[in-house]
Amino acid sequence: MSKLLVVKSDGTTEHFSANKVRHAIERAGIPVSMTERVLDHIRAIAKQNITTQEIHRHIVEFLSHSYPQGICRFNLKSAIMRLGPTGFPFERFVARLLEKQGYKTEVDMYVFGKCVKHEVDVLATKEDRTYFVECKYHNHSGIRSDIKTALYVYARGEDLKQGKKGTAGTYEPWLFTNTKLTGDAIAFGECRSMRITGWGYPTHNNLQDMVEEKKCYPITVLSSLSLMQMQQLLRENIVMIQDITQNPAILATLDMSYIHRHALLEEIGQLSA
C-alpha cells in the first residue's frame, strides 16, 4: 500500500497513508475497532490514483451501514462547505464559535480606518482586545487561502488599527477560513504575528478543534434535515445545532412530521453528548 498514490483535491498526489485515514476517522469519535474495519475496507477497494474524494465516499458508505452515528462528525468539513452558497451563514457561524470561546461579537459592521471605511465580517472582543475578523469561505474542496488573502487581511487590519489610535484597548486583524492555507500564507501570518484560523491550522485550536471542543456543529451536519430545510433555517440565522435546542419551536416552521422532528432532536442529542 505504501506505493499506492492518492490524488488530492488540489490535483497533487501523495502516497497513501493509513495513519492519515486512521486519524481522520478517529477524530470523528469512531471506536478503534470500527476504525480498523474501515481501513481494511479502504485497503481492499483502493486502486492506483484513487482520489481523496473517492476514499471519503467509501468511508461514508461503509459507516452508513456499520456505524451510522459516526457519519455526522466525519462529514464536518463538507458540512461546513454546505453553509453556502453565500458567505453570510459562515460569518454567523464564526461569530457563534467565538462567542463559545468567550468573545462578544458583532457581525457586518462598518468601521472607520485611518484612510477609508471598512466592512468587518465579525468584530470580536474579549477583555481589552478586539479583533477585526475577516471570514473567507469557500464551498469547493481543493481551494486554499493563499498569500494574497493574508496580505489583504493584514493591510486592512493596519488601516483599521490606525483608525483606532488613541482609543483604549488593542486591535488586531484575524483571518478565519474554512479552507486549508498555503505555506506562504502561514509563513506571512507567523512573521507578522497575525492570527489565522483555518482547516487544520494552527495545530491546536484550529477550526475543527473549536467546533469539536464545544460540540458546536453546524446544522448542515444533520442527516435528518433536507437541503431545503437547511437553507430555510440558515435564512433564519439558525447556524448551529445548539440554536435548534435553544429554540426548538423553530422546527414548527419546517414541513416536518412529529416523528421526523423527534428523530432530528435525537440526532442533535447524540452529537451534543
Residue 173 near residue 134 (C-beta atoms within 8 A): yes
CA distance 161 to 138: 27
Distance, CA of 153 to chain centre: 19
pLDDT tens for residues 117-137? 999 999 999 999 999 999 999
* pLDDT confidence of residue 2: 59
- Asked whether the bond before 202 is cis by omega within 30 degrees of 0, the reply is yes
Q: Looking at residue 124, what DSSP letter applies? A: E
Digit-coded pLDDT (tens) for 59-91: 988 888 888 777 877 889 999 999 988 999 999
Q: Which residues contact 55 (CB under 8 A, 6 or more apart)?
A: 6, 21, 42, 46
CA distance to 40, 91, 165, 196, per residue, from 160 (Å): 53, 19, 9, 17
The pLDDT of residue 54: 93
List, for residues 174-194, the tens digit of each pLDDT value.
Answer: 999 999 999 999 999 999 999
Task: Classify 47 as helix, strand or coil.
Answer: coil
Q: Can you list the alpha helix ranges (DSSP code H) found in 14-82?
A: 18-27, 32-45, 52-66, 71-74, 76-81
